[in-house]
Structure 1
């Protein structure tokens, strides 16, 4: 099983090296290399699903690459640093989301002429880093992968942004760079604090750190007393998560990145990268600092519901589709934060569903609106009206994406929202009740945008004759995302069963 994870990780890495080192080729050849290797990674992720055992209490498909050692790093004990990878239920769910979105970027988004090499190279490096982030088994691997995503995405924004590229890329670099600093200090500080408190060798491995923090018996650690890290460590982790997830008031970089980036980079940022912060909070907060999550549960609830409502109101006041999509994502991530802060198993499972659902729906809307913009040259509502007549296929997919955003039953968003609020009412009924306003607002802004875009009179009759609806080559990727959103909403058990195993791993018994 480990060889499958090798393939997932190193197919995009090989693609990055090949694209960077090969002599000058045509844009079409670079895209072909990109598509082939991204497809290999996607197939390998599918094979991991067939061999994954949710009942297992250990990480699976473990890959270890020792790198270097620090002699006498801590009280005479050596510390070996390496790249360690593996999967559990949480890793597999988010790895699958990333594999699907990154594959769709390769096969369905256009590249400006002359930029084929740059796009293929940096997207494949970002793919490797994202896969490594979600499958890392030690703090060093996780932090290194986060830094590589920052590096690769910066160059994508700088080279391929459709507007204001330099400002957008630098803002992204500054905000996410500061978030990385907070994550580095908090996680390294947690590792040293854990070793000092437990009087044991320094380790960066997830399983060992979780065993010490939660006081559970594992193959490598004896049953120990409960350990709680200093609160400043958790607060730094929380600040890093808030920036990574673009929470208000640290969100300014995100709407600009989504609005100005090309479609592929916007899908990478909105569909995948904004899930790394929530992943860190689940992996390190819930899994290793559960006592601190409970102490700051009202902070998480306040920030979460605040972002849920702020994102919804901002999306309602938006004047174009890209701004609506970005603030809608912020709103969804607010509900994720609220659910995680409850420390309830059902709410945390709902948060995991929401991460996958939000990534798919965001990518669906970005891809659909890119097809609309290719024909109308704008996404501003005041210039769009009555597109249902000349563009019925694209308008239909846009309507579905809007309905999925508001959590319509039988779509993936409904499952996550239902579980998150169900668990939230058990712990914070007042916050949960206030948060329901966000669901009402999501219906308002989604349907308002659809009404302004697809219904009403078509004002430019001359252009109507020239508009050509999406060809099959354009709409089948959108249809694939639509089917995934429906499948998860209608048949949630496979993904839910995998996530349930992750919930049991993260939450200590009785926690």
Structure 2
């Protein structure tokens, strides 16, 4: 029931924000912050209940709720969370808190509707991470899509409508393909068993012919790689990131991309193990192409937000490479990469938003020497630039190193090429740092450094990325039962 409460809090708080904005804008901000904070604390409470030691010997699903929704069509309200889901919920509400905080003084028009969309996007993302009825999963998939469209289209930058339309068309096209795949699986399962159900555990037992398995899997996979995004389905990402408001970019990079990776881990590989194994080599190849292509494109950008957006294409290539290597250590690295990328890239987008607010430009050619007037911001940027290039003792290094370590036995040549990602990430990261904060001073007007709210936000992110780099073991222990089940299923399929 606690999972239902967490999602309901966000949905109800969103409605209150929309209704109360005409009377008290300040109250709307505090309602939003309180709603996300309560959910963050509830997630921490669940994790505290299931400490790391019992997790290693406990069933995979730690929290579960099931109720009939539309029983005549086999639709249930089935929510459940294992270690992976709880970890992603924690990331969702942590970054949600930061999204509300960074919007505090940035949003001045239609404030109630803004926070309504922000909270409903978070609710949709949280629902995606815990829904185990495929109809309900699709429902939450759409719930997170529509509010994000409004966040970009209304509160974005100059070219916001084009970016919003592009985002919506790409992701909706993938979503419709997934819906067709869900319906195909539903009808095949019903024909085999006489019971029509969208329940995840029921559909796991469905017997599919190789052809049906391949085509249905592709419907799911295309929806997820568009959201990941993988090359060549990444085209929507740079525009959406560069035009979205700061909180929108934070949620896009930190959370929405993770729903694609989560979908592959939760649905594609367990439901279609043989079909997934058959395309593993191609999937790993596209992951490596994304690593190299994203890094080269990031190096070529002059718009700071587009630069950071292309780094996401590069870093998420490691996710595709690790998942389809079907190795335990690589999959643990994938989870670490999902978490640390959300933190480090989210932090870079926050810093880009702060620079845009002060300089009224995203062009790094018009920046330079900013460390002189903003040493605190420069110091924070240095930490996350180093994290992005994979510096040891920061969380990103752990994720990418584990992925490469696990991918090498599966496909040595591709793993070796993927190591170029470390080299190229150093190039674009150091270029970003040099052009923005070092070098000759290009702006004579004194600039305001981080205020208390911004500093607190960045300190929270710094502590997170450093702790994950120094002591990642709790995360690895938390997801180990899920990873082990995935590896066992894939090993059976590849025999």
TM-score with structure 1 length normalisation?
Answer: 0.91
Equivalent residue runs for 1:268-347 within 5 Å: 268-347=251-330
The answer (yes or no) to whether the contact 1:139–1:188 under 8 Å persists in 2 is no
* Aligned with 2:95 (options 101, 112, 115): 101
Using the TM superposition, name which of 466-475 and 265-274 deviates more.
466-475
The answer (yes or no) to whether the contact 1:405–1:442 under 8 Å persists in 2 is yes
Tell me by how many angstroms 1:68 deviates: 1.6
Tell me by how many angstroms 1:212 deviates: 4.9
Matched, 1:209 2:210: no
Tell me by how many angstroms 1:206 deviates: 1.9
Matched, 1:91 2:85: yes
Number of the residue aligned with 1:480:
460
> Secondary structure of 2:488's partner?
coil
Number of the residue aligned with 1:169:
164
Using the TM superposition, name which of 432-441 and 230-239 deviates more.
230-239
Tell me the matched-pair count.
486
> Secondary structure of 1:137's partner?
coil
In 1, the alpha carbon distance for the partners of 2:477 and 2:21 equals 47
* Aligned with 2:184 (options 170, 185, 189): 189
The answer (yes or no) to whether the contact 1:194–1:229 under 8 Å persists in 2 is no
Number of the residue aligned with 2:345:
362
Number of the residue aligned with 1:136:
131
Number of the residue aligned with 1:66:
68
Number of the residue aligned with 1:471:
451
> Secondary structure of 1:230's partner?
helix
The answer (yes or no) to whether the contact 1:271–1:360 under 8 Å persists in 2 is yes
Structure 1: 5+ residue runs without aligned partners? Answer: 71-78, 214-224
- CA offsets per residue over residues 84-104 of structure 1, 9 Å max, x none? 111011111111111111111
Identify if the C-alpha distance between structure 1 residues 56 and 210 changes in structure 2 by more than 3 Å, giving closer, same or farther: farther
- CA offsets per residue over residues 401-435 of structure 1, 9 Å max, x none? 11101111111111111110011100100001111
The answer (yes or no) to whether the contact 1:412–1:486 under 8 Å persists in 2 is yes
Using the TM superposition, name which of 375-384 and 342-351 deviates more.
375-384
In 1, the alpha carbon distance for the partners of 2:60 and 2:388 equals 35
Matched, 1:12 2:6: no
- CA offsets per residue over residues 300-319 of structure 1, 9 Å max, x none? 01111011111000001111
Number of the residue aligned with 1:73:
none
Tell me by how many angstroms 1:248 deviates: 2.0
The answer (yes or no) to whether the contact 2:20–2:28 under 8 Å persists in 1 is no
In 2, the alpha carbon distance for the partners of 1:345 and 1:200 equals 36
> Secondary structure of 1:468's partner?
coil
In 2, the alpha carbon distance for the partners of 1:140 and 1:253 equals 26
* Aligned with 2:22 (options 16, 24, 31): 24
- CA offsets per residue over residues 322-354 of structure 1, 9 Å max, x none? 011100001111110011111111111111111
> Secondary structure of 1:508's partner?
helix
In 2, the alpha carbon distance for the partners of 1:507 and 1:287 equals 9
Tell me by how many angstroms 1:111 deviates: 3.5
In 1, the alpha carbon distance for the partners of 2:26 and 2:39 equals 20
In 2, the alpha carbon distance for the partners of 1:211 and 1:407 equals 41
